[in-house]
Amino acid sequence: MSNKLTLYHCKGARSLRPLWMLEELGLPYELHVLPFPPRVLQKEYLAINPLGTIPCFFDGELRMTESPAICHYLGEKYAAAQGKADLHVASSDPDWGRYLNWLYFSDATLTFPQTLVLRYTQLEPPERRIPQAAEDYRKWFYGRLRAVDAALQQSNYLVKNRFTAADIAIGFALHLATLLNIDGEFSPAVRAYLDRLRTREAFKRADAK
């Protein structure tokens, strides 16, 4: 394994989080775009990531597979060196804990129910789709989204009133909701926040890849 940064990605998948972070940081990296789900459609990927999940990220010999953790790692290791310290919140900052909570809330709490909506509306064959399960998890997503809405009543961004990796992590979950067509009940604050995030040039570059 070389020392360059490498990311395995699928269009519209959670790997958009680290891809967006890499673009914000302006780091050089190698990108491999795979069909979704790669564990089914590109089985040789299992030799790279035995879980078969996306993302899979390498920094030299280091392999990581959790999208918020990759964003956290990139911020910790590279943000200051790249002149992008504002993308990260340091452990010495009083808001560090809030920053970490949003980073990991993004996937464990927000994206989890979305994956079940995706499964039971699109990925399963028609005879195995369960509309009631999809609707239940859509409601679960909205219940958890209340925390984001409440935070955005106070600030344009989630931490320090500036754009950070926490916004990348949460922003992907909101973007995914639009891909799943479950964004119809977004509050005005959440809608404006997502629109604001998607105007960023780094997001546009990442999404185009």
In whole angstroms, give the CA distance from residue 43 to residue 135.
31
pTM: 0.95
Tokens of 171: 């922003």
pLDDT tens digits, residue range 57-95? 999 999 999 999 999 999 999 999 999 999 999 999 999
Q: pLDDT band for 47, please (50, 70, 90 cuts).
A: very high
Q: Which residues contact 184 (CB under 8 A, 6 or more apart)?
A: none
Q: pLDDT band for 146, please (50, 70, 90 cuts).
A: very high
Sign of CA dihedral 32, 5, 52, 139: negative
Q: Which residue has the higher pLDDT, 133 or 1?
A: 133
Taking 80 as the threshold, does the pLDDT of residue 118 lie above it? yes
Q: pLDDT band for 3, please (50, 70, 90 cuts).
A: low
Tokens of 103: 């980073």
Taking 80 as the threshold, does the pLDDT of residue 136 lie above it? yes
The pLDDT of residue 164 is: 98
| Coil vs helix vs strand at 141 | helix
The mean pLDDT of the chain is 96
pLDDT tens digits, residue range 7-35? 999 999 999 999 999 999 999 999 999 99
Taking 80 as the threshold, does the pLDDT of residue 123 lie above it? yes
